Structure 1
Amino acid sequence: MTSRLLRSLSASPAQNTNQLVSLVKASLIPLHVVLVGLTWILHDYFLTLEDEIRYIWPQRRSFSKFMFFWIRYYSIALLLFDVIQIHVFARPGFTSDNLCIAMDTIIRVVGAISLWSVEIIMQLRIYALFECSKPIAFLNLTLFAGSIAGFMWILIHNHSRRASVIASVIDLPLPGCPSVHSGIEWAQWVPATIFEGILFLFALFKTFERTVSALRKEGKVRLYRILLRDNILYFFGVAALLVFNNLMVVSVTHIPWFSYGPFHAAVGIMTSRMLINLRKATSKSLMISAGRLGEDGETLRFTDSSTLY
């Protein structure tokens, strides 16, 4: 390894020095940014823990409750994994060719598990918005399976070529594995991005349809429309994150690669908050409905704060 490194540096000292400096800087950025991601998700966790205890814990056992806890705590575990992996790999002499190649694939798989979990929740939201339409559910499930298949094909393709991609820099004294993007690595998250875009269009269509209908009939938009609006922001947010991730890989943004940590944190936070807000809004709606009937059977007057005029 030492002899290969010396030969590489002696071949073109100036060029290799510049390359080494660039790669070292690229490797140091994730060391700091991933800590920001972990701090962010832990901060948000403690901010919303009271709402979780109040609105999520009392629910009966259900798939939605399981998915909330899975996404909530898997996201935190994923950020811990990101921090430990990046900082341990930064120790001198820890990494190797095979370890870097294997970890590159593992990082993408554990991140994909988080994204796929979120996409299951998103499909359920679309299913509910379209009044439990089985054709819509089947279509989304088919597209979901297709996006996973596309992801796996690109993953296998990139994994088989990763060794040749990092061969020229793997022996450089870098803090961790080399941050090198090439080949069709940019396409890794394209299938998921396309699927997210389709889900966003479904939510956008239903929001527009129901909002127009409500304005024509009632001249105002009620709680359900607020929930639709929140879903739009959520669907758009996840899709925007994936687009931004793809643009970073191909260097369109000119922002140095800072690891998947912030993306993992953002997706986990948005999903957890959406589920908490939905449950909170549902609880308030039930309280308002129950309060309309007084003890003597008289209708009580309430100012429905959930209505947008």
Structure 2
Amino acid sequence: MIHEISPSEAVERLQAQFVWNYTNLSGCTIAIIDFLQTFPEEVRLMWPARLSIPKVLFYLARYLTLANNISSVFLSPGISRRTVKECNGALNLTGLLSPSAVVSAEAILFYRVWAFSGKSRRMLAYLIIQFIGLHSLVFYSVGKWLMSVKYARWSLPSTADRPICMVMEANEFLLSWTYAALLSSVISSMVIMVFIAYREHRGSSNRLLTVFYQDGVYYFVVLAIMASANVAVNWLAYGGYKYILIQFEVDLHGILSTRMLLHLRQIGTEFDAVSVTRIARIDRSQPVFSKTSRPFPRIPQRMLSPLHFRAQTTAKTTEISEDTPGDIEAI
């Protein structure tokens, strides 16, 4: 639906729209830099791996995030459109790619929680129900929000034949539900991981478990802060300013989830090709390191991490138990 607005209001909303567009461009820049920086790791660690659920989720999260960023830049509402359908179509495509990218990244988190639980069937059933319930709410809320959007078109002297589309009105309460659902998903998953770590892995000196758990904590803290910030901005900001953090949250979901997999895969190559699924088979009663040991590559002091943008490639030697399993499904 198209609404006419006064010149003064149009200028004010146009300024907000341009700020929104600039933040989308910033998010796209971050996503592209991350992609270029981690692409060699993807080629080395993911391409040779056999097909598996984590590998499929990795590519979905990674490339849907890229596609969403590109669409957010080139299909932003603030760009000139000839028709009403172009206004709707541009926002709708970006609006559907965003939750798709986030849900793919969230699926990686849920898979990690299941592996951390020892691949419990009860945990799997619970996680499936929670995943479907919360993310159905995400898609429903975003879809209803897209349907509630009303546009204003305003022509600049340089674009008289192609008026600019601006979001004039929308049901922002629906977006708050979306952020709340994502926040609930992250919090509940983290609570489960903390409980499992306390109950099953307390006192363990296993490096793989430690990295697995620490990366999950980083993911939780960063995304919990971002989701909370989006809720606050959505309620307090005006016009296009309400949406300035959306792209950053989508990017962080995709970037952190894929970096977690690359990080774990990096450790896997140095621990006899282990992976996420090996977590389920680690002996909780014994530490990894023991006196009966053989030479094996040491984990670098700092390597690819969700919160570090530089992968380490050097390797030394250390000792690892003969009992460490190595014939586990690759991620």
Bucket of the pairwise TM-score, normalised by the shorter protein? 0.7 to 0.9
Aligned positions of 1:1-309 closer than 5 A: 5=4, 9=6, 17=8, 19-86=9-76, 89-94=77-82, 96=84, 99-101=86-88, 103-155=90-142, 157-163=144-150, 170-173=152-155, 175-178=164-167, 180-185=169-174, 186-210=176-200, 212-214=202-204, 220=205, 222-251=207-236, 256=241, 257-258=243-244, 260-286=246-272, 300=294, 305=299
**Structure 1 pair 233/101, CA: closer, same or farther in 2 (3 Å)?**
same
**Structure 1 pair 66/23, CA: closer, same or farther in 2 (3 Å)?**
same
Q: Deviations over 1:207-240 (max 9, x none)?
A: 34455333xxxxx563321221112212333333
**Structure 1 pair 45/209, CA: closer, same or farther in 2 (3 Å)?**
same
Percent identity reads 17
The structure with the largest alpha-carbon Rg is 1
**Structure 1 pair 115/83, CA: closer, same or farther in 2 (3 Å)?**
same
Is contact 1:26-1:179 (8 Å) kept?
no
Is contact 1:105-1:155 (8 Å) kept?
no
- For 2:122 and 2:171, locate their aligned partners in 1 and report how far apart those are by CA, in whole Å: 39
Q: In the alignment, residue 236 of structure 2 is paired with which amino acid?
A: S
- For 1:284 and 1:132, locate their aligned partners in 2 and report how far apart those are by CA, in whole Å: 23
Is contact 2:149-2:169 (8 Å) kept?
no
- For 2:40 and 2:21, locate their aligned partners in 1 and report how far apart those are by CA, in whole Å: 31
The Cα RMSD (Å) is: 3.4
How far is 1:31 from its partner? 2.2
How far is 1:268 from its partner? 1.6
SS of the equivalent of 2:50 reads coil
Structure 1-normalised TM-score? 0.76
| Of 34-43 and 239-248, the range deviating more from structure 2 | 239-248
How far is 1:62 from its partner? 1.9
- Structure 2 unpaired stretches of 5+: 156-162, 275-291, 302-331
Is contact 2:45-2:265 (8 Å) kept?
yes
- For 2:89 and 2:180, locate their aligned partners in 1 and report how far apart those are by CA, in whole Å: 22
Is contact 1:44-1:269 (8 Å) kept?
yes
SS of the equivalent of 2:15 reads helix
**Structure 1 pair 238/137, CA: closer, same or farther in 2 (3 Å)?**
farther
- Structure 1 unpaired stretches of 5+: 10-15, 215-219, 289-297
Is contact 2:113-2:189 (8 Å) kept?
yes
**Structure 1 pair 28/134, CA: closer, same or farther in 2 (3 Å)?**
same
SS of the equivalent of 1:235 reads helix
SS of the equivalent of 1:212 reads coil
Report the count of equivalent residues: 276
How far is 1:255 from its partner? 10
**Structure 1 pair 74/200, CA: closer, same or farther in 2 (3 Å)?**
same
Is contact 2:270-2:297 (8 Å) kept?
no
SS of the equivalent of 2:104 reads helix
Q: In the alignment, residue 228 of structure 2 is paired with which amino acid?
A: V
- For 1:203 and 1:253, locate their aligned partners in 2 and report how far apart those are by CA, in whole Å: 38
How far is 1:118 from its partner? 1.3
Is contact 1:37-1:262 (8 Å) kept?
yes
How far is 1:104 from its partner? 4.3
**Structure 1 pair 156/279, CA: closer, same or farther in 2 (3 Å)?**
closer
SS of the equivalent of 1:131 reads coil
- Which of 1 and 2 has higher RCO (CA within 8 Å, sep 6+)? 1
**Structure 1 pair 305/109, CA: closer, same or farther in 2 (3 Å)?**
closer
